[in-house]
């Protein structure tokens, strides 16, 4: 996958947020910023501040338990439970008896920092929102205003011109009246025009030919687009945003579409792949929401995933009741075409975006390429075979490139235009 720049500079927002918070909370003796860093590297996989994940929510944890106990627990919870500490056993049992990883490497000071971070009061809902529009206005609103202004000015100029012309016309008429000139008005009936046209055989012939040619052109265009679904963008049962996943978060395409490496199918990821991340991400950040789709909207989609995969968010458990998702297939190759993803992705090293377009910018997946045979063949004609470090190609490339007198063979020269290579 191409390295994609963050669509909405997430990090910026985070930094500003952190910056803001750091300043506002310097009153704490421990370093909450450091604590956050440690939290994110060590704890965030299982804990959230305000919601239960694999482990319990950690905001205000310092108030609940004794600090010395927390040190022991963090460094080795297993020992604590084994020792029969009543509180430890209780916590263990409350959390589905999932043992917490021991962190003997954390010093007491580190833990203090984490606790400082977790003790920060929950940010007012307004805070991140206040941050978000800044980024938003920078991008969208400004350009919108300028366009509107230009358009408005243009309209005004046009209107003024029309008014001026009308005024000039009136003026001239008045002058003519005043001078006693008579304006001859020609009788321009439509019938007369048509009769004149019908009498001119040459004109009729030319326009008939023109008409036929134009209609043939459009008919051809119409026929050629039958079965070509470029831009096909069906509504999916779950609003899955490639923009958020591949764009904003920069997840590699082949993390989810892993079979593209070895199989003819790229594979729609099974829901357990989604749960690798979404076990911990049960809601989107406020900043993910766009003007089009609210946070609540996206959260609903994650909830839909949970329902399909049978994940009980509150109990952090699989219920076993699954509802497989019936996605609508976007790229439909006809049955008589054999296409193999692994040949293109693994062997040729073609970027996913070459055929699928800027997926990282697509809110909803759509068909980017026409997927016609001409489109396939053009690429085969133009693309060089990637032969480097591939022992399979070594000999055949040497011999064939000598034969064709080229330094780099295209897929077509390698036999990529033969009918039977794709049709069997």
Partner 1 sequence: MASNKKYWKSVEELNENSSIVETLRNNEFVEPIPVDEFLGDKESLSSSSTTRRDFLKYVGFSTAAASLAACEGPVVKSIPYVVQPEEIIPGVADYYATTMADGFDFANILIKTREGRPIKVENNNLEGAKTGANARVHASVLSLYDSLRLKNPKIAGKDATWADVNTKVKASLEDAKAKGGNVVVLTNTMASPSTDALIASLVAKYPTTKHVVYDAVSESNALDAFQAVYGVRALANYDFSKANTIVSVGADFLGDWQGGGFDAGYAQGRIPKNGMMSKHIQIESNMSLAGANADVRIPMTVAQQKQALADLYYAVVSGAQPKNAQIAKVASQLKDAKNKGVVVTGLDDVNAQLVVLAINNALQSEAFNPSDAILTRKGDAKAVSQLVADMKAGKVHTLIMSGVNPAYTLANSKEFVAALKSVKLSVSFSMKEDETSSLTTIAAAAPHYLESWGDVAITRSNYSIMQPTIRPLFNTKQFQDALLTWTDNTVAYYDFLKSFSATSLAGKSWNQAVHDGFVASVASPLTAASADYASAASALAQAKSSNFDLVLYSKVGMGDGQQANNPWLQEFPDPITRVSWDNYVTISKADAEKGGFKNWNVANGGLNGSYATIKVGNATLENVPVIIQPGQAKGTLGLAFGYGKKAALKEEMQVGVNAYALYANLNSNQSATITVADGEHEFACVQLQKTLMGRGDIVKETTLEVFNTKDAKEWNPIPMVSLDHKPTAATEVDLWDSFDRSTGHHFNLSIDLNACTGCGACVIACHAENNVPVVGKSEVRRSRDMHWLRIDRYYSSENTFAGDIELKEGTSGLMNSIDTFSGMEDPSENPQVAFQPVMCQHCNHAPCETVCPVAATSHGREGQNHMAYNRCVGTRYCANNCPYKVRRFNWFLYNKNSEFDYHMNDDLGRMVLNPDVNVRSRGVMEKCSMCIQMTQAVKLKAKREGRLVGKDEFQTACSAACTSGAMKFGDVNDETSDVAKLLEDERMYHLLEHIGTKPNVFYHVKVRNDK
| Sole binder of partner 1 in the list 9, 263, 294, 353 (CB under 8 A) | 263
Q: How far apart are CA 396 and CA 403, in angstroms?
A: 10
> Judged by CB under 8 A, does residue 277 bind partner 1?
no
Secondary structure of residue 318 in the 3-state scheme: strand
How many other CB atoms sit within 10 Å of the CB of residue 230? 14
| Sole binder of partner 1 in the list 271, 352, 371, 379 (CB under 8 A) | 271
User: How far is Cα of residue 112 from the mean position of the Cα atoms in its chain?
Assistant: 39
> Judged by CB under 8 A, does residue 134 bind partner 1?
no
Q: How far apart are CA 406 and CA 399, in angstroms?
A: 11
> Judged by CB under 8 A, does residue 310 bind partner 1?
yes
> Judged by CB under 8 A, does residue 334 bind partner 1?
yes
Q: How far apart are CA 63 and CA 115, in angstroms?
A: 9
Q: How far apart are CA 402 and CA 398, in angstroms?
A: 6
> Judged by CB under 8 A, does residue 194 bind partner 1?
no
Rg, C-alpha atoms of the chain: 34
Binding residues for partner 1, total number by CB under 8 A: 55
- The CB-of-326 to partner 1 minimum distance in angstroms stands at 5
In the complex with partner 1, the residue whose CB is nearer, 288 or 301, is 301
| Sole binder of partner 1 in the list 50, 252, 351, 418 (CB under 8 A) | 418
In the complex with partner 1, the residue whose CB is nearer, 287 or 316, is 316
- Binding to partner 1 by CB under 8 A, coded x per residue (else -) over 8-27, reads --------------------
Q: How far apart are CA 174 and CA 180, in angstroms?
A: 10
Longest Cα–Cα distance in the chain: 119
> Judged by CB under 8 A, does residue 343 bind partner 1?
yes
| Sole binder of partner 1 in the list 124, 391, 405, 407 (CB under 8 A) | 391
DSSP 184-223: PPP---HHHHHHHHHH-HHHHHHHHHHHHHHHHHHHHHHH
How many other CB atoms sit within 10 Å of the CB of residue 118? 21
- Binding to partner 1 by CB under 8 A, coded x per residue (else -) over 82-121, reads ----------------------------------------
Q: How far apart are CA 76 and CA 80, in angstroms?
A: 7
| Sole binder of partner 1 in the list 255, 372, 393, 412 (CB under 8 A) | 393
Question: Which spans of this chain sit near partner 1 (rule: CB under 8 A)?
Answer: 226-227, 229, 232, 234, 259, 262-265, 267-273, 308-310, 322, 324-329, 332, 334-336, 338, 340-343, 346-347, 389-393, 395-396, 399-400, 403, 415, 418-421, 423-424
């Amino acid at each position: 996958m191409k390295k994609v720049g963050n669509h909405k500079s997430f990090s910026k927002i985070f930094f500003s947020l952190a910056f803001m918070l750091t300043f506002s909370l310097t009153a704490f003796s421990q370093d909450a910023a450091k604590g956050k860093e440690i939290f994110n590297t060590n704890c965030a996989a299982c804990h959230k501040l305000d919601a239960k994940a694999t482990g319990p929510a950690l905001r205000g944890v310092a108030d609940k338990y004794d600090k010395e106990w927390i040190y022991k627990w963090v460094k080795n919870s297993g020992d604590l439970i084994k020792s029969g500490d009543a509180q430890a056993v209780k916590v263990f049992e409350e959390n589905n008896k999932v043992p917490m990883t021991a962190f003997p490497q954390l010093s007491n000071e580190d833990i203090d920092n984490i606790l400082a971070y977790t003790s920060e009061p929950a940010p007012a809902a307004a805070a991140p929102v206040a941050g978000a529009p800044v980024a938003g206005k920078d991008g969208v609103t400004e350009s919108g205003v300028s366009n509107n202004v230009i358009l408005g000015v243009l309209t005004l100029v046009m209107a003024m011109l029309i008014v001026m012309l009308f005024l000039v016309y009136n003026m001239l008429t008045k002058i003519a009246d005043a001078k006693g000139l008579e304006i001859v008005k020609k009788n321009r009936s439509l019938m007369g025009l048509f009769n004149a046209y019908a009498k001119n055989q040459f004109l009729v012939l030319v326009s008939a030919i023109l008409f036929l040619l134009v209609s043939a052109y459009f008919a051809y265009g119409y026929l050629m687009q039958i079965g070509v679904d470029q831009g096909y963008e069906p509504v999916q049962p779950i609003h899955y945003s490639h923009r958020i996943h591949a764009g904003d978060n920069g997840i590699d395409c082949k993390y989810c579409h892993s079979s593209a490496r070895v199989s003819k199918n790229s594979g729609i990821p099974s829901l357990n792949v989604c749960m690798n991340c979404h076990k911990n991400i049960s809601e989107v950040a406020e900043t993910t929401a766009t003007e089009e789709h609210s946070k609540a909207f996206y959260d609903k989609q994650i909830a839909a995933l949970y329902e399909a995969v049978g994940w009980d968010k509150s109990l952090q458990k699989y219920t076993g009741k699954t509802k497989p998702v019936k996605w609508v297939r976007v790229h439909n190759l006809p049955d008589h075409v054999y296409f193999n993803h692994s040949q293109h992705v693994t062997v040729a090293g073609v970027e996913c975006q070459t055929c699928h377009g800027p997926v990282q910018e697509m809110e909803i997946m759509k068909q980017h390429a026409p997927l016609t045979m001409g489109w396939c063949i053009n690429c085969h004609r133009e693309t060089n075979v990637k032969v480097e470090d591939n022992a399979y190609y070594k000999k055949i490339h040497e011999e064939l490139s000598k034969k064709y007198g080229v330094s780099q063979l295209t897929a077509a020269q390698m036999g990529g235009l033969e009918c039977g290579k794709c049709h069997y």
